[in-house]
Chains A and B, each alone.
Chain A
């Protein structure tokens, strides 16, 4: 889940319009950019789609960390293609957000100034090659869990972006699992790296779904608007149920002794992540928050002359064209 704790905005619109809008959503209609929508719906979506886009962009960094060290030409190509897909996802999502009346530059500035967030997960470091497997398997796995239902979300451009994104994400997850398989069945050192990666990424992956439902204050309005389709705890449970057997197949141990099949609920019991850590990471105190945002700031600042140069050239071309006509 790349959008966490998105604050819903209340709407002060005409109650009759609000009711008609809600009726369209309840009937399963898609809302398109030029149609009337409550201000709160628009603002909440900008925040959610923007946060999702920022997560894709910042998410390039922990994986980019291993592109130059990928162990074979094929692995290097697969990882590059994956990170490229993430940049592409960022692009579709910024475009979807732009249909709501906010520019990509405005969103970028909001990310760089810290006004907007990105997923907590990308503030954790990637320390060994096995982390490229764990990120694909767990992080993309958790993202898919959240994004598959979002293909049915009420806002048309967001739902359509999700259809494309989900196809690519499930491919990434398989590639990640494939790396884990090679590592888990490799030399003792490789297996140790695989277990270590699972140990480090397990709880941060569970945190991707956001705080427990009892502490999740923004859900009701977003769920009524079909911007959020499932509760945090529902998705977290689904993720654990899917992942535990996959870890067993790999011969790896989930770093939580409380993980146990519960026949009655038809799912696994498991421990809650450390929510204090989660809130610290969100506040900026994760292991890599400072590096991640500095890397994005540097890319943006160092690239200013490039963007200005292209704009200036385009302006010259336009002037020349007008003169010629």
Chain B
């Protein structure tokens, strides 16, 4: 009984990690709306943000169902405070220039795609179904972000410098994706979600290949930030939530 209960708690956590990461990244990407360097990028960014928000609805919807306290995806997205968010630190990094936005997307997509592939084999059919749907979208995200990283890394001297600096800046936030804690271990043992470090070989292979084609140098720095998955965030997330949740918080009795 207590094992089953713990597993539900872990499952809720695991689903929030997925749904909060797509929510926060979708929000960041949507901040570009109307301000991208070319019209085609405005359209592509909106596509990516839309996919991520759609995935958030599915992951957080299921999280609310698993929790069983009557919270839906909107309640989880708009009525939790910063310490309850379980997203990766990488996705809450501010947009920076367009190069940082693209590099953040690529480093995430390179993890997201194999992660979803593994989740398709989840012992929980609800998770497998969401992963299959999201996987088709994310395959496109990865194709686009990898292609742009290559083209800009191997573009002009300025685009190369900007992409290298984006990579150096974001690299210390990539380790968290592959770092396991007790929640991850419980879910992996139960066959519900893959062990985070099982994604590492595919992530490394993809990243190495793309960065080398982009003529970018993989940072040799080993230090990695962590804490997002457990609810310890950077200062940036609070500001994002202040914007995102404002209407729901200011008018708690309203329906929209």
Contact = CB atoms under 8 A, between A and B. Distances in A.
Same complex = yes
Interface residues of B, number: 50
Contacts of A60: 33-34, 42
Contacts of B49: 80
Contacts of B42: 60, 84, 87
A190 interface: yes
A129 B43 contact: no
A182 B255 contact: yes
A187 interface: yes
Given A71-B247, A87-B42, A309-B158, A303 B37 contact: yes
B152 interface: yes
Contact of A83 (B46, B247, B248): B46
Interface in A207-248: none
Contacts of B41: 303, 306
Given A73-B53, A80-B33, A186-B255, A91 B39 contact: yes
A306 B159 contact: yes
Interface stretch (A24-32, A61-69, A112-120): A61-69
Interface stretch (B9-17, B72-80, B108-116, B129-137): B72-80
B35 A84 contact: no
Contacts of B254: 71, 186-187, 189-190
A260 interface: no
Contacts of B53: 73, 76-77, 80
A224 B160 CA distance: 54
A292 to B, nearest CB: 10
Given A88-B43, A309-B159, A312-B155, A302 B256 contact: no
A280 B150 CA distance: 47
Nearest to A182: B256
B7 interface: no
A61 B31 CA distance: 11
Interface in A285-323: 295, 298-300, 302-314, 316
Secondary structure call for the B interface: helix
A57 interface: yes
Contacts of A94: 39
B256 A312 contact: no
A74 interface: yes
B36 to A, nearest CB: 7
Query: Is chain A's binding surface mostly helix, strand, loop or mixed?
Result: helix
A73 B256 CA distance: 10
A305 B34 contact: no
B97 interface: yes
Interface in A29-53: none
Given A73-B74, A305-B158, A312-B155, A83 B34 contact: yes
A23 interface: no
A71 B247 CA distance: 6
Contact of B40 (A69, A75, A91, A314): A91
Nearest to A186: B254
B223 interface: no
A57 B43 CA distance: 11
B47 interface: yes
A90 interface: yes
B196 interface: no
Nearest to A190: B254
Contacts of B117: none
Nearest to A299: B35
B155 A309 contact: yes
Interface in A248-305: 295, 298-300, 302-305
A187 B57 contact: no
Q: Which 8 A/B pairs are nearest by Cβ-Cβ distance?
A: A303-B37, A309-B159, A309-B155, A60-B34, A84-B46, A64-B34, A71-B256, A71-B247
Interface of B: 23, 27, 30-31, 33-43, 46-47, 49-50, 53-54, 56-57, 73-74, 77-78, 97-99, 150-152, 154-156, 158-160, 162, 243-244, 246-248, 251, 253-256
Interface of A: 57, 60-61, 64, 67-77, 80-81, 83-84, 87-88, 90-91, 94, 104, 129, 182, 186-187, 189-190, 295, 298-300, 302-314, 316
23 contacts: A64-B34, A69-B246, A70-B247, A73-B74, A73-B77, A74-B57, A77-B50, A77-B54, A80-B46, A80-B50, A84-B42, A84-B47, A91-B43, A182-B256, A186-B256, A295-B34, A303-B37, A305-B159, A305-B162, A306-B41, A308-B155, A312-B159, A316-B154
